[in-house]
Structure 1
């Protein structure tokens, strides 16, 4: 005997089927045809979503129900998953594909909504954008889905889970690991994977196009439509959504995620961010006979390509009087300790109100005494110089006090600002990169002996806890 809920789903699905089939017929006659969603159908569908929301609210862990109440809701037939989210006009929007969503059970519908909300509170929308230069979209999407799906039950059979990834990519990933662990392991597997096209996929029938094929690489494409917004502003909006959603008890795993969000001003500690970049920056292609050519896999005479990892790093040091010699030495020691195990090229840029010196650094013995000519602080000269070089990352150590606006915007590289312990904020209105604030550290040793890197200065002990 069908429940009242199931009796509502069946006719809605039939109407959704008619809407999409009608659109496909028009599409065959007119490539510019657009799908038309009748208002009465949209109203009925959103009424059903309200019932799912009510079920979430009645749960003892009602966080997701209250979060969903604050979100705008839209229908889209072109997404390849039951639900999707993005950030539009100061509000999170959740999208539903009726033709997929209506095939789920009530519990699966709830899990699909929870899945999207977990992406939001984990700040995945901004983290994906931050890492897209270092990792492939596929690796990022799979890693993010593993993180959130590990906490969920009643997932649809096609969901990207830890077990699915281990099986399909011959990995042995562990559960409840940080996002960075997953994306690195998956990227390595993807880089080593032989790509063989399945020609039978090109013979799909028209009816099979009613539902977009589930593709992990495309599940979060809609994030690209999000409004342009600074990460810190997005974090503030997310915090307000979270605060309004905490009306009762929440699961332990969710409490941990929310604590990480509150305690962290940025997604990754600067030194871990730099360390991960060392192994992921793509600076060319290396030929290999163990992998087929991606574009022409049937051409056995063409060798495939693997990434050749080499990071070109620029370290800019504010040598004005506001940065002490102790901070200078400790910053350099920390950088050298991070990059020493990676294929890298390190360029040191000394700058106050203008660039005073630029030179290559391979080890501690290459460090020169800091220039005694010191003026005020301007950031623009460093970016003007960096824009003429093929850097992958610019790490700028400063107390944050400089001009309000960059006259030269960074091009082709990522920027990481590291504010000294005595600084409080970056003076720029727009940072064009990640900003980290380090706590004041008592310096015990001014030498450049790398064995004491962990004793003070910019050490891992001073970093915020890493969120998922």
Structure 2
């Protein structure tokens, strides 16, 4: 049985089509390609009246967080968007956009879902993350969009049929992606598959049996100022129009929006995302921070007799230098019992994933009051079971070890600890960067001068908890903050 809402939706869709047809006719007659679709105030009022009804449903739902979040957002109509809805950050406000040609094709449950979808991107800070990844040039827009959508869509029901779900990506890209993983996990897997497909397509003949007239018509349609079909590769293009603000500022604004939207008890997965957002305090998490500074680490140089010294070319007795293209990374672990095996194994897994694109060598150093063992690792299976110890912790032995090593010149030290140790190092770090990662059980670093950045390691599930599962502990500290599995 057709409801009043359905009739209102169909009427608005017909009016939207009429607006497009009028603009298209004017454009063809005037040959002015810059003519925009004129959205009347009356259409805006009626369209957003329908959106208000959707929002009312969201606010009445047990997940009313989304309704109160949407209530704070500015709203705009945008016909040239390749998705039913989109979001960006403008003038200290999050703005949600709707394409009537796509949004009005959805039923009310799908409308609710597409709004939730955009808000999950916001509280996951995907707008910031996407910009950084695009600027890096390492990942395609399609891979980034697919990975981000896979992450948020795992929490949603009543998705539109074309949505990029985990199952859809696995089937269409011949992958076996696991559920509730970090955004970075999905991005790497998807990009590898896209690269393989591109290699296989090279050299294939494409159908060019298209008439000049058809080609002209196709180009004309592409240039029209409206989109009536969903396009996964363009679905987040509107993010590029966000105001250019720093990550900390955007995070602070997001936290304010979140705070005002919390009017009751949220589902566990949503609480996990919000807790992760608030715990960041606008700072980059440890693994993203590590990824950012990896590119700044200069690999060691080796001496060569085939090249003269650049500084003193006339000194034939001085050997020149060549880049060795292998930097040395030391990973120190406090084995005094303050960090669980699960925490450390997950952290090492992320370290290996981050440095795999670089030619770096990793040395793990186990230390309490003194260094117990040091060994190299290339893969996760190389990580050995930690030596049992119950003593206290001192940080200085690790710095002494790195400073006095005559065989290797270390470029970076990542120190995993609960933060409890000396208040002052006996020696200063010499020639290498330092990143302190405080375990989920720790609070702060005891050192007054850490000589490096201090980041927090989120908790992970510990095996000795048996069948008891606390979702707040099932977090790997991935930047996407979307690796918590919801309770079904």
Q: TM-score, normalised by structure 2?
A: 0.60
**Residues 264 and 3 from structure 1, CA distance in 2 versus in 1: closer, same or farther, beyond 3 angstroms?**
same
Distance across 2 between alignment mates of 1:397 and 1:19: 59
Matched, 1:174 2:178: yes
State how many pairs are aligned: 335
Confirm or deny: 8 A CA contact 1:86 1:93 kept in the other structure: yes
Query: 1:211 Cα deviation (Å)?
Result: 3.3
Confirm or deny: 8 A CA contact 1:420 1:439 kept in the other structure: no
Matched, 1:437 2:454: yes
**Residues 198 and 234 from structure 1, CA distance in 2 versus in 1: closer, same or farther, beyond 3 angstroms?**
farther
Aligned to 2:95: 93
RMSD: 3.9
Aligned to 1:21: 21
Is the deviation greater in 154-163 or in 259-268?
259-268
Query: 1:243 Cα deviation (Å)?
Result: 0.5
Matched, 1:237 2:237: no
Once the two structures are superposed, residues 142-181 of structure 1 have per-residue CA deviations (whole angstroms, 9 ceiling, x without a partner) of 0000011111111111111111111111101111111111
Paired residue for 2:230, among 181, 195, 214? 214
**Residues 180 and 79 from structure 1, CA distance in 2 versus in 1: closer, same or farther, beyond 3 angstroms?**
same
Once the two structures are superposed, residues 266-301 of structure 1 have per-residue CA deviations (whole angstroms, 9 ceiling, x without a partner) of 6764456646998xxxxxxxxxxxxxxxxxxxxxxx
Say which one has the larger Rg.
2
Matched, 1:53 2:55: yes
Aligned to 1:108: 110
Confirm or deny: 8 A CA contact 1:264 1:464 kept in the other structure: no
Distance across 2 between alignment mates of 1:369 and 1:144: 33
SS in 1 for 2:52: helix
Paired residue for 1:84, among 83, 86, 91? 86
Aligned to 1:259: 275
Distance across 1 between alignment mates of 2:49 and 2:4: 13
**Residues 271 and 115 from structure 1, CA distance in 2 versus in 1: closer, same or farther, beyond 3 angstroms?**
closer
Distance across 1 between alignment mates of 2:90 and 2:144: 22
Stretches of structure 1 that go unaligned for 5 or more consecutive residues are 279-310, 317-330, 347-362, 371-381, 383-394, 400-418, 427-435, 441-462
Distance across 2 between alignment mates of 1:6 and 1:242: 31
Matched, 1:160 2:164: yes
Aligned to 1:190: 194
Confirm or deny: 8 A CA contact 2:110 2:159 kept in the other structure: yes
**Residues 64 and 424 from structure 1, CA distance in 2 versus in 1: closer, same or farther, beyond 3 angstroms?**
farther
Paired residue for 1:314, among 292, 298, 305? 298
In the TM superposition, structure 1's runs of 4+ consecutive aligned residues that sit over 4 Å from their partners are 196-210, 265-269, 271-278, 335-343, 395-399, 423-426, 463-466
**Residues 145 and 422 from structure 1, CA distance in 2 versus in 1: closer, same or farther, beyond 3 angstroms?**
farther
Aligned to 1:138: 142
Query: 1:217 Cα deviation (Å)?
Result: 1.6
Query: 1:437 Cα deviation (Å)?
Result: 2.6
Distance across 2 between alignment mates of 1:158 and 1:38: 30
Aligned to 2:341: none
